[in-house]
Amino acid sequence: MATDNEPKIIPTTSTTVVAQSNPLAKKQFNLRFWGIFSALCLLAFISALDVAIVTTALPRVTADIGSVEQEYVWIASSFVVASCVIQPLVGQLADILGRRIPLITATALFALGSGVAGGANGLNMMIAGRTVQGVGAGAIYVLLDIVCCDLVSLRERGKYVGLMNAWAGVAAGIGPVIGGALADASWRWIFYMNIPICGVALAVVLLFMRVKTGASRTGHSKLKQVDWLGNLIFIPSMVSLLLGLVMGGIQHPWSSWRIILPLVLGCLGWIAFHVQQSAPMTRWPSVPARLFSNRTSATAYVLTFFASVLVQSAAYFLPVWFQAVLGTTVLQSGVDFLPLAIGTLVFAVVGGLLLSKFGAYRPLHAAAFGLSAIGFGLFTILSPSTARWAVFQLVASAGLGITQSTLLPAIMAGLPEADVAASAAVYSFIRTFGFIWGVTMPSIIFNAVVNKNLSLISSDSLRDQLRNGAAYSFASEVHKLRDDLGSEIWDEFVKVYTKSLNVIWWVSLGISIAALASVAGEDGLELRNELETEYGLDS
């Protein structure tokens, strides 16, 4: 087995450990395979559905539990931060303990957190429940990719990752509609409904998932194999950094020391973590430096960040265009967003099928980011015509969808099978981190451009309602005020939002072009057809 003192691991078609062939490598499509895969799809669906539903229902939840406006952000932020910071640790635990125990534990934590959040009678209890939910969801995100990779060869992974992510895409598409309906009835069922669904997934895992626990680390105390120091540095650093990102411009201005200090401390801690990971004394790093030692894996990680930023920018701000420019309700904007949501999941499956068929990821990445650039370019000329904005969304969804299923296989193409868990955990972390930036960066741009163009609005009271970050949430209420504003002020209002959103589309276009250029950094490595793993299903 390669040691951490070696400068790099040369990509090969076999693992760096003596691995046993997966008994399902030649006979994949039996009951056990589909039982495990169905559980993965169910968990992908419910974890994504929870995020989409809560976003829609958050105002109603906040009002019912008595939270004030400045505190509601913690209901969402506690989940995001908790789900992000534990992902590298989960990848390491999956290598140490095997896949089954961590997956069962993660699902149980998600269900437990859902129960606590559903029964919350105050803000503190809600935040506690959402934090436990976040830990479970973050672990689920990592383990879904890891277990899926244990089932099929690298050549086939894009297809099955795409199918699995399609369920998450369905959840993201229908989540706002379900969230709006449940918020009107009883928002507590937004959380309670997770419990029986998790119960079904747990039952399927317990019934079908009998797996090996790995052989390369036998003889070592399992507790000693955990990167305690690394996680002690990483988790607080990421908590500090992420809290600065999610609070900035909402609870405190970006120039406040309360935002600058956690951002600086988080960045310094992140640097210290990577120094510690590369140190010879670190025998079991949770994020080994060798994951970035070849240009294909390193480039694909960068592309993962770009793709995540682009997906979230579109998902977060296209509904604002529907609400502010077309004057739709929140619920209707969710319906209008379906071409992008459904298109993304369809093209995720298409991308995975093409990758499995031809085994070439570079042309797919180039096509994906090229289509993304065209899509965001078309967004700059959005108009109220339904045919136009629906088609424009489909173009963008083609690019964004293909990246969902083709980046992880590219990352693993340059790494041995022994690094499946670690590389998948880093992929999941970078993707989640990119989602956060996909909200934070466009929000900064949007608020700045709105403030700059407020002079275009002749109404003093309306200007005050849009100033200093209030424009995003105001968009969801404007349909109630449209008739009162009058046609002249309404045209001024639309002009301000159009200008502000266009800057986001142009920046996203630039990111797409940068990603397209970065594809040149990848090598066209062969995707392995044989599956060798220490964590496959027992015969």
Angle at 215 between CA 214 and CA 221, to 5 degrees: 95
Collapse the DSSP code of 252 into the 3-class scheme (helix H, G, I; strand E, B; otherwise coil) and give the result. Answer: strand
Q: What is the pLDDT along the chain (539 residues), one digit of tens a residue?
A: 344 443 333 343 333 333 444 444 444 557 888 888 898 999 998 888 877 777 666 666 776 776 555 566 677 788 888 999 999 999 999 988 888 899 999 999 999 999 999 998 888 898 999 999 999 999 999 999 999 988 888 988 888 988 888 888 777 777 766 776 776 677 888 889 889 989 999 998 888 887 667 655 554 577 788 899 999 999 999 999 998 988 887 778 888 898 999 999 999 999 999 999 999 899 899 999 999 989 999 999 999 999 999 998 998 889 889 988 888 887 788 788 889 888 988 999 999 999 999 999 999 999 999 999 999 999 999 888 778 899 999 999 999 999 999 999 999 999 988 899 999 999 999 999 998 898 888 988 998 899 999 999 888 888 888 888 778 878 877 777 777 788 888 888 999 999 999 999 999 999 999 999 999 999 999 988 887 777 766 65
Name which of 331, 437, 353 is nearest 401 in CA terms: 353
Look at the chain and count its residues.
539
**Residue 367, CA distances (Å) to 304, 357, 374, 377, 476 in order:** 15, 16, 11, 15, 34
Measure the CA–CA gap between 479 and 330, rounded to whole angstroms: 9
| CB contact set of 260 (below 8 Å; sequence gap of 6+) | 244, 254
pLDDT score at 55: 66
- Quickly count: other Cβ atoms within 10 Å of residue 385's Cβ: 10
pLDDT score at 216: 55
**Residue 272, CA distances (Å) to 4, 16, 238 in order:** 18, 28, 12
What's the gap between Cα 117 and its chain centre?
22
pLDDT score at 263: 94
For the CA atoms of the chain, what is the radius of gyration? 23
HSE-CB at 418 with a 13 A cutoff on CA atoms is 18
Name which of 94, 202, 84 is nearest 135 in CA terms: 84
Measure the CA–CA gap between 422 and 424, rounded to whole angstroms: 6
503, burial (CB in 10 Å: exposed 0-12, middle 13-18, buried 19+): middle
* C-beta separation of 206 from 524 below 8 A: no
Q: What is the dihedral of CA 492, 493, 499, 503, to 10 degrees?
A: 170
Angle at 450 between CA 444 and CA 452, to 5 degrees: 100
Measure the CA–CA gap between 147 and 82, rounded to whole angstroms: 22
In CATH terms, the fold of domain 31-214+222-227+284-521 is Growth Hormone; Chain: A; (1.20.1250)
Q: For the residues of 365-424, what is the DSSP string, one character each?
A: HHHHHHHHHHHHHHHTT--S-HHHHHHHHHHHHHHHHHHHHHHHHHHHHTS-GGGHHHHH
Compute φ and ψ for 70, nearest 5 degrees.
Answer: -70, -15
Compute φ and ψ for 281, nearest 5 degrees.
Answer: -70, -15
Name which of 470, 465, 463, 469 is nearest 448 in CA terms: 469
* C-beta separation of 414 from 362 below 8 A: no
Full-model pTM = 0.87
Domain positions in the chain are 31-214+222-227+284-521, 228-283
List, in sequence order, every beta strand (DSSP E) within 228-273: none
Tokens of 276: 């510690």
Measure the CA–CA gap between 390 and 341, rounded to whole angstroms: 11
Compute φ and ψ for 416, nearest 5 degrees.
Answer: -75, 160
* C-beta separation of 537 from 23 below 8 A: yes
* C-beta separation of 176 from 52 below 8 A: yes
Q: For the residues of 294-338, what is the DSSP string, one character each?
A: SHHHHHHHHHHHHHHHHHHHHHHHHHHHHHHHS---HHHHHHHTH
Name which of 324, 321, 325, 437 is nearest 376 in CA terms: 321
- Quickly count: other Cβ atoms within 10 Å of residue 184's Cβ: 11
Tokens of 246: 């999610």
Q: What is the dihedral of CA 11, 14, 19, 20, to 10 degrees?
A: 150
